[in-house]
Amino acid sequence: MRSRLVHAVGISLFITIFISCGVGTEKSDTNDGQRVEWTRIGIGGGGAQFNPQISPHDAKVALVTCDMSGSYLTHDGGESWTMFNFGGQARYFVFDPVDPNIMYAQSSRLLKSTDKGRTWDVFFPKPTGDELAGAGRNMMRQSMQSFAVDPAKSMTLYAAIRDGQTLALYISKDGGEEWTKEKELGNDAKNIFIDPSSPVDQRTIYVAGSYSVEQRLNGNWQSFAVPAKDVKFNFFAGGYDAASKKYILYAISGQGYFNRDETQSGIFFSDNGGKTWENRQEDLLKYCIAEQKSAEFRALATSALNPGTLYVSYNSMAIHADTTGIGVAKSTDFGKTWNLVWLDKMNSGVDVPMANYGGCWMNDIYGPGWGENPFSLAVSATDASVCYATDFGRTLKTENGGRTWEPVFSKRLPDNSWASRGLDVTTCYAVNFDPFDKNHIFISTTDIGLQESRNGGKGWNIVSTTDNGIPRH
């Protein structure tokens, strides 16, 4: 297994982004005023991808970010993507649950789009005149650790804002023009959840952190600690269950890629706002051999309106004496029972990709160990069978609850070459043309090696580890 992450560092103090019309193409002006259209080419994917988010209005609209600072937007369920850049990696995305045109992205600042991601403007903190002129230094003191929009009123916003050393929950009722401090918080605030069934003028709020959940119920705040001293929550998910009329919270704990501390492993469930938790990993561990009943849980996601369905990314699951399983598990009964809907088998000999995957160039060349199991998962609020997963080199999607998975970063052409869908996550260092064949082109890229096209750049294959005399290792 690899432990590689490349973080492109960049801070943009004031950004307005314009995305060209037409997915996969960009237009620019030449000196003589002529319009030149550029088309992205390449194999697609190739670097770590994170933080998928699906629109609650349309499951075909989704956002993804990557370790090379780019962000990506699809309006057609991953068939094609538009890339844009905030000057740094986006840490999370939020869709407005009321207005389908509005979405937010947190990078060095929180940005907002009111036209479905076509253009973006800085939303918070708003720069002053001096800061725009480059004189201000305090503008980066404030940052949003987490952010939420009211389920019924787009103008009501909730944010965990760090100002210097102080972290607090703020509420705005005028669309972010003015903010009122509601409560000081602890060291972190990973998520803010709003119960959509609570009164609009007195929302029930859950602010989830590594060691506690802060709950506001009927205007009163309570703090509930993690269920044990050796528990540290790495990720949360939540949703409202109409059948039980309860807001459900999930959390995962344990040592792993995102948490080096030796903490208790678990998939935790709460139906009372974090007051009590139940560890529901036991049925999932039935897939382990008797000598090793453990696994690393790397990510989780649920449907905001169907929280009975839960997806968890797992690693290091000993399914045989010489075989480790990685992938995604799914529960449809709030974590009581589990099925492995994504199972890549890793051993010292030959790694075996999951049988229910449509395949991709990355698995063909490098095997499932390159992508590993997902860093992040996202589930549609309205259709719990739609789930996006991102890992070291790919973005995958299921539309049938995990029965099958398909790549949405690359597509296979009839000649068995691969073409990008617009989700490109690598650096290209050179383009080399065959002087005797205009359709024969090479490009050299970070991490994934040498790519070759024999159809004029329409499709590509990785050649640096195929049958060309270079030993696989």
Provide the pLDDT for residue 2.
45
Q: Is the pLDDT confidence value at 132 over 60?
A: no
Q: Which domains does the chain have, with CATH numbers?
A: 16-426 (2.130.10.10)
- Comparing CA positions, the residue from 416, 443, 287 lying closest to residue 361 is 416
What do you get for the CA distance between the two ends of the chain, in Å? 14
Determine the average pLDDT of the residues in 189-198. Answer: 98
DSSP string, 54-99: E-SS-TT-EEEEETTSEEEEESSTTSS-EEEE-SS---EEEE-SS-
C-alpha angle 51/344/372, rounded to 5°?
35
For residue 409, what are its two tokens?
A: 């970063």
Instruction: Convert the pLDDT of each residue in 34-66 to its tens digit.
Output: 888 888 889 999 999 999 999 999 999 999 999
For residue 461, what are its two tokens?
A: 């294959």
Whole-angstrom Cα distance, residue 7 to residue 67? 5
Instruction: Convert the pLDDT of each residue in 134-165 to its tens digit.
Output: 434 444 568 899 999 999 999 999 999 999 88
Least confident stretch, 205-214, 315-324, 345-354:
345-354
Provide the pLDDT for residue 130.
55
Asked if the bond preceding 196 is cis, omega within 30° of 0, the reply is: no
More confident residue, 405 or 321: 405
For residue 432, what are its two tokens?
A: 């080399």
Instruction: Answer for the pair 87, 433: CB distance below 8 angstroms, yes or no.
Output: no
> Whole-model pTM above 0.75?
yes
Which residue type occupies 346? M
356 to 201, 347, 398, 411: CA distances (angstroms): 47, 19, 10, 17
Top mean-pLDDT range of 28-32, 86-90, 262-266, 285-289: 285-289
